[in-house]
Structure 1
Amino acid sequence: MDRSRGADGAADDGLADDGVVGGAVDSATAGRPDRGTDRSRRPAVRRAVVLGGGFAGMLTASVLARHAERVLVVDRDRLPAGPLARAGLPQARHGHLLMASGAASLEALLPGLTGSLAAAGARRLSLPGDLVTLTPHGWLPRIGEASHGWCLGRDLLDWIVRARVLADPAIELVQGVHAEGLAGDSRRVTGVRVRGGAWPDGHELAADLVVDATGRGSRAPDWLAGLGLPEVVQERVDCGLVYATLLVRAPDAAAAFPSVSIRSGPEAGPGRAGVVFPIEDGRWLVTLSATRGAEAPRDEAGFHAFARALPHPLIADLLPLCDPLDQVRRYGNTADRRRRYDRLRRWPAGFAVVGDAVAHTNPAYGHGLSVAAAGVLALARALERHGADDGRVTAGVQRAVHRTTRAAWSLATGQDVLYPGVAGARPTRGDRTRARLGERLQAVAVRADGTGGDADAVLRALVRLGTLAGRPADLARPAAVRALLRGPAPEALPGREPPLSEDELALLGDCAHRRYDRARDGVV
């Protein structure tokens, strides 16, 4: 393809304003209304390019559309025309939780979106009320709402976001195209080299602003090195977690059944855990996981056996009541990884990195979507403050995006580094001290009784911290400090059985119900 330039000096990339790529209409952009004049101000730049059409990429496109005449979203896959699986997102078959903080970021970026999630069947979980959680110290009481989260299938979430974003006529999706590298130099990125679609290998797609949202497989460190920038420091902590998920049809009577989380701690050797995610259309995603030294199940028989071997058989008791809808799916790309772009003294104008391409943590903690949304919101706020045409803005964006990763990174690595055989790091004395503090806090939290006492304050603070809605400083408030100093009271610990209502117990059937009743009464 010959490169030609129009009167404005911009490269002709064969991409017309009607979404035509090489003469073929892109189904994701066809039939849209004209842009009209609904922009509140004149766009600062002519073209912005987002690499990656996933969750973070689409949110980024919605932000850039406020500042650019055109936004091109470039993705290597052909994205499905509906809430269906896509080839480049194997983790979509597993459970995802949008934390309260992530939902707040999503609402700030796309107002009304959580209403769309609810209308599509997403389940809003009141926390800790709608979560049955077993810690090494006992069951957490299900009292009130300290925070919340949204459970839904990843395919549905991506589809709702994608449909909302692509309704903006300034945004165009270009599919089946791979990003090969950055154009420009160490001072400014002027575009991206691509291959695929109507373009020959190495074609230079000119842009005033390029944002990498290509996820965990991002090649941005290599691309920056190719521009003459220093090597990017990369941090990694890998506890070897592998998880397996089975999609099931939940019993009709289980529409309001709570989510379940059962986990062993690092002190018990290899970590083993099980989680039940209630999602749309009366389905559950049941996920079982194991860290290095143990093995997640590979088939349905092994799945049931693994669930039975967890510290409590609740998930194993639920599984026979469900109808499997898929085979067991395994996933092992779970290491905590962070690229320290914030440490680079030089940064090229016209380039930014967001989402998992910056940092991603062990998905067992459920923070990925929320951190990605927070990072894009940081981008939005930086562009509002400085303007998209300010050559200094992208260095500031990277520092702001890095700040949004800190809490989740600290929570995940602080736990993962303690498991046997961890790779990439070793626990320090500080890590072990913080772990002991966390254990004591959990032991206090199981004493919460909903009367507003000090243990209640600890439980609320832990829940808010775990959903990224709170701060570590909340645990330094007087009520939490008093409860921490007083410590756990063994005689006040709840029984050995889960805090389920009579209706919830009835779902498990007579046999399990009687067994749980006997255990509560101390009968072996």
Structure 2
Amino acid sequence: MTSRPSPLPRVVVLGGGLAGTLAAAALAPHVGEILILERDSALPQTPAPRARLPQAAHAHTLWAGGADAMEELLPGITADWLAAGAHRIPIPNGMVSFSPAGWYRRSWDPTHYLIGAGRDLIDWAVRRRVLGMPNVELRTRTKITGLAGDGARVRGVYAEQAGQDGRQAAQDGQQAGQDAYGSPGLIEADLVVDATGRNSKSTRWLLDIGGPEVRETVVDAGVRYASRRYRAPEGTETDWPVVHVPADPREARPGLFATIIPIEDGQWHVSLSGTRGGEPSSGEELFEEFARGVRHPLVADLLARAEPVSGVSTYARTANRRRHFERAGLPKGFVVVGDAATSLNPVYGHGMSVAARGALALRGQAARRPFASAGFTSRAQRAMTRPAAAAWLLAVGQDRFYPGAIGRRPNLADRLSARYVHRLAHTATGNAMIVERITDVVTLRKPAGILAGPAVLLAAALGPRKPLLDGPELTAREQEVLARPPLRSPHTASATDTDTDTDTDTDTP
């Protein structure tokens, strides 16, 4: 048994990923001790890949709302990212985006931003700051086997510590087996935070102690990712825009997406994705061919002038999955954060921002009332659900419409909402105020309700103030890159390669 020597509250966080470390940062000012339990044998000391985070091989978007929240939790974290080579990309003028309603203009004044960086770099900078806090401890090679307590209160967790066999298995790149762990031990806590990601076992653990059954909603468009890193063409290593060609959910065909995000080390992180029936291959020679098949070939044209520096990684665990812990009547002393509560189709880039906004909400609740007080758990869970619910609506509002999507089919309200969203996108092609309001919502800086305000409704009724662009609005430097001779000719073979999936994330301690 691990007892608690400090009279101040002790928090146990399950999972040392981004959601877990942000939750630790949020709670650290209000507790005596935070113990982060992680199943990995070690967490990288540099911006290097984690064995249990294969989705890090794919492009990630850290929107302004998420970056703002992380900066508030960890002052100076933005400077850390930039010093390590990340880019602060202004929006809208730093983004070339072909919306379903047309090309967005880039001549408006910047109002928002995003951080262009690899997921490994973002996680590393956060982890380094959090683990440097004097009351935060990390314990690796720890497997959680269940919750301690009952349906009224969680008092800790049962855990098994990996022995020498477990360490050797981890060094060999294998998952440690059941027999590599020691006998179960109780780790006491005043608050347990589940940050174990999509593979969370909390719904089962709660039932095991007589807790509530948690309802789950799933919307799955069958999205599959294929990603690759490229060396940016000479002269484009800095001040390069994000290039994004999304699908149009109104088309009666699988949705195809292509995105370039400038990241550290003078590289582009390129992610291609397709919904069920239009999935990309893992074949390297087919990567750029797929990019040429999206709604506009701009991404493919740029890639033909850049040099790949990695193979192709694929990932297919992309269902939108919402576990309604906020409605379940959780026992005291237990909350769920990040993907363990709401996991989203990553094509919309909201996972990191939702985790950060949720952690900020958790900090607010911890500052108002003790963990043991009546209502802390329910209030904290509801507060963390609000940013997740906003991102959920943005994702499923599109994913429901793709062919073969699993989950409730679109009803009349869904169809009317989708029509209004498309009208807003159409208006945004020529109205700076609507661009700013949409970006407020997409970046999670403001709630979606602002899109129903009187000024927005009037602007949507009037439509765009400027004519539609007939192509992307590119700078002279961007046009010069496209004018260079391509390094490779377009590939014309059919997509018949055998795929190799890497979607094996097992981020559960």
TM-score, scaled relative to structure 2? 0.88
Question: Counterpart of 2:15?
Answer: 52
Tell me the equivalent position of 1:113.
77
Single out whichever of 471-480 and 138-147 deviates more from structure 2.
Answer: 471-480
Deviations 1:332-356 (A, max 9, x none): 11111111011123x2111111111
1:428 to 411, 436, 454: 411
Q: SS in structure 2 opposite 1:297?
A: coil
Q: Is 1:289 the counterpart of 2:289 in the alignment?
A: no
Q: For residue 162 of structure 2, what is the aligned residue in structure 1? A: 197
Name the amino acid aligned to 1:429. L
**Map of 1:399-418 to 2, 5 A cutoff?**
399-418=382-401
Match runs of 1:244-263 below 5 Å: 244-254=226-236, 255-263=238-246
Aligned 1:347-426 pairs, distance under 5 A = 347-390=330-373, 392-426=375-409
CA displacement at 1:480 relative to structure 2: 2.8
Counterpart for residue 223 of structure 1: 205
**TM superposition score normalised by structure 1:** 0.85
Does the 8 Å CA contact 2:70/2:77 hold for their aligned counterparts?
yes
Q: Whole-Å Cα distance in 2 between the matches of residues 340 and 470 of structure 1?
A: 22
- Report the alpha carbon displacement of residue 434 of structure 1 after superposing the two structures with TM: 0.8
Q: Percent identity?
A: 43
For residues 239 and 327 of structure 1, the distance between their equivalents in structure 2, rounded to whole angstroms, comes to 25
TM-fit CA distance, 1:264: 2.5
What is the alpha-carbon distance in structure 2 between the residues aligned to residue 43 and residue 109 of structure 1? 25
Distance 1:327 1:69 in 2: 45
Verify: 1:66 aligned to 2:50, yes or no. no
Matched to 1:184, the amino acid is: G
User: Partner of 1:321 in structure 2?
Assistant: 305
Q: Is the 8 A contact 1:44 1:387 kept in 2?
A: no
Deviation at 1:510, TM superposition (A): 4.8
For 1:216 and 1:500, the matched residues in 2 are separated by 39
| Residue 112 of structure 2 is aligned to residue 136 of structure 1 | no
Q: Contact (CA 8 Å) 1:250, 1:322: kept in 2 or not?
A: yes
Cα distance, 1:267 vs. partner? 2.1
Segments of structure 1 that go 5 or more residues without pairing to the other structure are 13-41, 449-454, 513-524
Partner SS, residue 201 of structure 1: coil
Kept after mapping to 2: 8 A contact 1:350/1:391? no
Does structure 2 retain, via aligned residues, the 8 Å contact 1:307–1:313?
yes
Question: In 2, are the aligned partners of 1:44 and 1:388 still within 8 Å (CA)?
Answer: no
Aligned position for 1:493: 468
Change (3 A) 1:426 1:89: same
Aligned-partner residue type, residue 362 of structure 2: L
Say which is worse superposed, 186-195 or 386-395, in terms of deviation.
386-395
Deviation, structure 1 residue 502: 1.3
Q: Report the equivalent of 1:339.
A: 323
* Change in 2 beyond 3 A, CA 1:368/1:120: same
Q: What letter corresponds to residue 235 of structure 1 in structure 2?
A: T
C-alpha displacement of 1:184: 0.9
1:293-331 deviation digits (Å, cap 9, x = unpaired): 212121121111111122221111111222212110011
C-alpha deviation, 1:43, in angstroms: 6.4
Kindly state the Cα deviation for residue 280 of structure 1 after the two structures are TM-superposed. Answer: 0.9
Unaligned runs of 5+ in 2: 164-180, 487-509
CA 318–286 in structure 1, closer or farther in 2 if over 3 Å, else same: same
* Cα distance, 1:511 vs structure 2: 6.3
Q: Secondary structure at 2:143's aligned position in 1?
A: strand
Q: Which amino acid aligns with 1:103?
A: A
Q: Among residues 410, 426, 435, which one is paired with 1:459 in the alignment?
A: 435
The DSSP-based 3-state class of the residue aligned with 2:366 is helix
Which whole-Å deviations, capped at 9, do the CAs of 1:101-149 have from their partners, x for residues lacking one?
Answer: 1112112211121121122121111111100001233210012223211
In structure 1, C-alpha distance between the alignment counterparts of 2:310 and 2:100, rounded to whole Å: 31
Cα distance in 2 for partners of 1:505, 1:167 equals: 45
Change (3 A) 1:307 1:350: same
| 1:376 Cα offset (Å) | 1.1
Say if 1:241 and 1:289, in contact at 8 Å, map to a contact too. yes
- In structure 1, what is the equivalent of residue 259 of structure 2? 275
- Tell me the SS of whatever aligns to 2:276: coil
Decide whether the 8 Å contact of 2:56 with 2:120 is kept in 1. Answer: yes
Q: Are the aligned partners of 2:318 and 2:346 in contact in 1 as well (CA < 8 Å)? A: yes
Equivalent AA in structure 1 for residue 126 of structure 2 = V
| Alignment RMSD | 1.9
Is residue 96 from structure 1 mapped to residue 60 from structure 2 by the alignment?
A: yes
Residue 240 of structure 1 aligns with which residue?
Answer: 222
| Equivalent in the alignment of 2:491 | none
Greater Rg by CA = 1
Question: 2:476: which partner in 1?
Answer: 502
Asked if 1:165 corresponds to 2:130, the answer is: yes
Distance in 1 (alpha carbons) for counterparts of 2:240 and 2:33:
46
Report SS of the residue matched to 1:321.
Answer: coil
8 Å CA contact retained: 1:240, 1:334: yes
Task: List per-residue Cα deviations over 1:199-239 (Å, max 9, x = no partner).
Answer: 72321112222111111111111011111122100111001
Aligned equivalent of 1:182 = 147
Cα distance, 1:193 vs structure 2: 0.7
Provide the secondary structure at the position in 1 that maps to 2:134: coil
Q: What SS does the corresponding residue of 2:245 show, helix, strand or coil? A: strand
